[in-house]
Structure 1
């Protein structure tokens, strides 16, 4: 019996850790599902005007409808669209009716249309507010000489165009010749159910291995 104690301790400890990891993933699943539901509700809501003091934590994915003016100046973000190939997102300064200047992501153009003339002046835009998290330690800095950016960096882009650090991503507009709109979609992965099943499955396997180990010890003892 004494020889079985270490095996029993290791088995119980391993099962406890694996079950805890599975439970943690279940909690993460509930947390992520709530976030995705909240984002989905915002993207499906009737559009409103841009809040007076937009806040990333409160207003991300908020659907808005604004009439304003596109001011001169463009930034081009290198990207690709499966159905269109490689090209650029066109980011411009957008003057709201109340005078504020924000960033407007007009959508996608092919490489050949990077420097093509585009509509300036009055426009009506429907879209969603977004503060994209696209930069990290591996993101190349923008090539300012060629006006090519490699991520939507709201802070640096707003400084470059002299706007508030707020981005409106176009869903639709009244510009028939506008770039191809790339509306905000929910692209946050939610794999926590799979992870939970994996951890619980490992816990069952660990328990089975422990029982087999204990059986082997008992047989040798007998």
Structure 2
């Protein structure tokens, strides 16, 4: 083996380590930038939703607008619609709220504009699940509902599938509920109603939970820290190699590529 081979191998190993550190730093920095972009998007979303829920109500989207209804354009939009509840076709969806465990009461509303939309009238505890137990809270005449547009929740909850045949609902799946109740074509969204007038046993409305976790800054700082650590590791290795080459008599640990050096500087 020539004298230059160990040196070339050492340089190749150093280059490989440097490349790995650079790639790792670039990857971590890219993830950090992505989290910064996500944070900006999340802040815009929070501002947009806050404006929607405090805006004056507008007409609920009718059939001509259904094709364009989307979470980005319509979720949490404050709307108002008038019509009659089809109380005999209501469905109860299991729920957990600040009031405890119980059910959301989803009732079809036949609007004056000629379409049907599901309305989440609010929460009832288990003992008031049956409509007969809250008769004074079941309006029969014309009503006006103000609330927030919500997107359908297909299939069910985590590890819990809806069972339409048994009337067990774990999510507010508009299409499935409409099919199970024979409602025909309904709006592709539902409305979370604000509190409505009625008896003391009426469903408790206005319980929409609007939370958007925003931990992106913490994630970004974590990724940027890892990028700096990767760069620092590369600099440390490069500096150590530089010092070794500047001092050829420097004692290296046993098992190094150029052989172990004893205290006298001899190589064996």
TM-score by length of 1: 0.88
Q: How far is the alpha carbon of 1:13 from its aligned partner? A: 1.5
Q: How far is the alpha carbon of 1:176 from its aligned partner? A: 4.0
Q: Report matched runs for 1:96-111 at 5 Å.
A: 96-111=111-126
What secondary structure is seen at the aligned counterpart in 1 of 2:168?
Answer: coil
Q: Which has the larger radius of gyration?
A: 2
Quote the residue 1:172 is aligned against.
195
CA distance in 2, matches of 1:84, 1:134: 25
CA distance in 1, matches of 2:212, 2:69: 16
What secondary structure is seen at the aligned counterpart in 1 of 2:53?
Answer: helix
Q: Report matched runs for 1:80-159 at 5 Å.
A: 80-81=96-97, 83-117=98-132, 118=135, 119-121=138-140, 122-133=142-153, 135=155, 138-142=159-163, 144-145=165-166, 147-159=167-179
CA distance in 2, matches of 1:10, 1:115: 65
RMSD value over aligned CA atoms? 2.2
Q: Which runs of 5+ in 1 are unaligned?
A: none
Greater RCO (CA < 8 Å, at least 6 residues apart): 1
Q: How far is the alpha carbon of 1:198 from its aligned partner? A: 0.9
Quote the residue 1:194 is aligned against.
218
Residues 170 and 181, structure 1, Cα contact 8 Å, conserved in 2:
yes
| Most deviating of 55-64 and 38-47 | 55-64
Residues 65 and 125, structure 1, Cα contact 8 Å, conserved in 2:
yes
Q: Report matched runs for 1:3-42 at 5 Å.
A: 4-42=14-52
What secondary structure is seen at the aligned counterpart in 2 of 1:103?
Answer: strand
- Over 3 Å counting, the alpha-carbon distance change for 1:134 and 1:208 in structure 2 is farther
CA distance in 1, matches of 2:171, 2:197: 26
Q: How far is the alpha carbon of 1:182 from its aligned partner? A: 4.0
CA distance in 2, matches of 1:152, 1:206: 47
Residues 106 and 169, structure 1, Cα contact 8 Å, conserved in 2:
yes
- Residue of structure 2 aligned with 1:75, choices 70, 91, 95: 91
Quote the residue 2:251 is aligned against.
none
Residues 61 and 184, structure 1, Cα contact 8 Å, conserved in 2:
no
Q: Which runs of 5+ in 2 are unaligned?
A: 1-9, 248-268
Asked if residue 204 in structure 1 is aligned to residue 228 in structure 2, the reply is yes
